A and B are shown apart, each in its own frame.
Chain A
Amino acid sequence: MLFSLYLTEPHLFWHNLFSYSDFLQSCILNLQPTLQKTQEMKLLIIEDEKELSDSIVCFLSREDYLCEQAFSFVEAVSKIEIYDYDCIMLDLMLPGGNGLDILKKIKKKPSVAGVIIISAKDSLDDKVDGLRLGADDYLAKPFHLPELSMRIFALLRRKNFTGSNILKNGELTIDLLCKRVSTNELALDLTKTEYELLLFLIENRRRVISKSALAEHLSGDIADMMDDFNFVYAHIKNLKAKLQQAGISECIKTYYGTGYKWILEE
């Protein structure tokens, strides 16, 4: 059958052949982790800018994610048709087609893949169209990688892959539904900003997060109008003090006033 395809439409033949090799490769990849870990999230990054796609993969692979990349419309469609993913990051402007058509294809499948649209087109129409077609989240380019990581985490949690709505880290327990933080049954009184900050830091643990990423997470678009992000420092200071009071010290490491990292062991 393949041979007849080669005679009639050689480009499709090669494309199919590549798909098969991809398939084999991913089978092997799929087999490996099942031996080590039971749950590993499979992500697909559909993004035509190779540099950006590589950065995302590099950043996310520090977690227990298995990342795959697609750089064009055709490639993305063929991958979606063959494999199942837990989360798909989708750029809307792709060589060979519109990302929204891919979104329709994903939604036709019985799988429960979550979709985050990442797009440079920051027009509202795209956002509305995307969310209407069933995308779960929308992130306008340029974004901070910790922000993307946070969104993926939240999405996977919403899709109930990780099961519970309670996030535990050391002595800290965070109830994600009620937005309550407690240590050893003792509730912490945090402001909304401090809560967001804590969650962002914990979900990006083991990573250094820049002050600007924190600022953007806390105040969205308004943040980049500010010239300095000293307000982040003030909130971090307050959060640290409150955690210290609750008996948790040495949890946030500061890197020369430019970046922060959550260092509390689980």
Chain B
Amino acid sequence: MKKKSLLSKTLSLFVVCTTVIFILTTPLFYLLTKHFYAEDMADIINAVQQGNGIPSLDLERDIIMGMMLQLLLIFIVLCFALLLTIRFMTHRLWSPFDDTLKMIEQFNLAKNPIPQLYDGGIEEFARLNDSLRKLIQKDKEAYRIQKEFTENASHELQTPLAIIRSKLDLLMQENADEKTMLAIADLYSLNIRMEHLNRNLLLLAKIENEQYTEMEDIDLNDFIESSLPGYEALHSGICFEHDKKDIFKIRANRILLECLLNNLIVNAIRHTPDTDGGIKVLSSNGNLTVYNSAYGDSLKADTLFLRFRTGDVNKKGNGLGLSIVKAICDYHGWDVNYSFEDKGHKFSILFII
């Protein structure tokens, strides 16, 4: 089907609309002409035919009045046609554009397939949809490549990292002197840092690829209780407060929940100046709060959850921990917030149940 341009379509619609209204109002014009405009003429013709004298009439006034009325009617009809075209026809004409706009607004590069766009047989919209489709296709391709790259790169890096680690384990066995041993220790910590970074990138890629589909109902309090001993090996005196009677079930992926908790608590351990205590974990009313006493001031809340932003000058961590927290919360539809209270950092997660 040949597509028409927007302008020609509007014009043709206007013409059609006006014609229809004029046809519909023809009886009105007829009546108007008969009773106002041509009324006097008809009287004169009747009188002349019957041989009577011309009746005394204010012909000028009547004709002007009739013409004026006719003009008014035409004006009203035209206005009506215009209004109708603008109000309803244009609305119908532009509805494909409206649909496209809605679809684009709701479009999520990660989740949705390329949307089916309707052009309504209009050339401009067809062009718009075509370019949008191409653009989205390119974006999706770029997105896919980026995702795959992260995942593949992480996979490929794992092997050399494993080899380095095993070689270090072997090197440790050679009765080396202090300098060498300290160098080996440095290499160990570098290896672990790289390994950690690699694992985190892989995790983020997997969350984005939505590879964690298995969800189960987990009692959060039980879950925290069972992971506490692991944290206490790292830092003594972590205080966990919750209402014992409260059963706090959430629907989550077990691996991700564990990862979320690990990141929040290790982050707290890492940034507290206290060697004993200073960390509080609170769970109540659909809320989980992790609080730790801090060295300094509040962190910048707006950039806190971005990747590779470390608030600390000491450059601890790899700057991915909190973005993982954010990604996991987004994945489950939870809300995570940061605030600075009582000279300490407070992260709270609101589970929407």
Which residues from chain A sit less than 8 Å from chain B, CB to CB? 49, 51-52, 55-56, 58-59, 62, 120, 122-124, 141-146, 192-193, 207-213, 218-228, 231, 235, 255-259
Contacts and interface: CB of A to CB of B under 8 A. Distances in A.
Contacts, number: 118
B56 interface: no
B32 interface: no
B194 to A, nearest CB: 10
Contact of A124 (B192, B202, B233, B255): B255
19 contacts: A51-B166, A55-B166, A120-B155, A120-B162, A141-B159, A142-B158, A145-B170, A207-B172, A208-B173, A212-B188, A212-B192, A218-B233, A221-B262, A226-B234, A227-B270, A256-B185, A258-B181, A258-B185, A258-B188
B352 interface: no
B172 A208 contact: yes
B169 A49 contact: no
A120 B158 contact: yes
B162 A212 contact: no
A218 B232 CA distance: 11
B266 A222 contact: yes
A226 B266 contact: yes
Contacts of B161: 142
A235 B188 contact: no
B233 A142 contact: no
B118 interface: no
B230 A52 contact: no
A61 B192 CA distance: 26
A222 B231 contact: yes
A210 B185 contact: yes
Interface in B137-196: 155, 158-159, 161-170, 172-173, 178, 181-182, 184-185, 188-189, 192, 195-196
Given A52-B163, A212-B188, A144 B182 contact: no
A105 to B, nearest CB: 25
B158 A210 contact: no
Contact of B170 (A49, A59, A123, A218): A59
B165 A143 contact: yes
B234 A222 contact: yes
A26 B307 CA distance: 54
> Main secondary structure on chain B at its contact with chain A?
helix
Given A52-B159, A141-B158, A225-B262, A210 B169 contact: yes
B205 to A, nearest CB: 12
A256 B168 contact: no
B35 interface: no
A234 to B, nearest CB: 9
Given A55-B166, A145-B166, A210-B188, A231 B233 contact: yes
Contacts of B332: none
A223 B231 CA distance: 9
A144 B195 contact: no
Contacts of A219: 230, 233-234
B317 interface: yes
B266 A146 contact: no
B344 interface: no
Contact of B189 (A146, A207, A212): A212
Interface in B266-300: 266, 269-270
A62 B189 CA distance: 25
Given A227-B270, A258-B181, A120 B159 contact: yes
A142 B321 CA distance: 20
A145 to B, nearest CB: 4
Given A120-B159, A231-B233, 12 more contacts: A49-B162, A51-B167, A52-B162, A55-B169, A144-B165, A210-B168, A212-B188, A222-B262, A222-B266, A224-B196, A224-B199, A258-B184
Contacts of B211: 123
A231 B195 contact: no
Given A120-B155, A221-B262, A222-B234, A55 B321 contact: no
B229 interface: yes
A120 B202 CA distance: 12
B171 to A, nearest CB: 10
B290 to A, nearest CB: 14
Nearest to B188: A212
B162 A222 contact: no
Give 3 closest A-B pairs by Cβ, nearest first.
A142-B162, A258-B185, A55-B166
Nearest to B158: A120
Contact of A210 (B155, B172, B235, B262): B172
B100 interface: no
A227 B165 contact: no
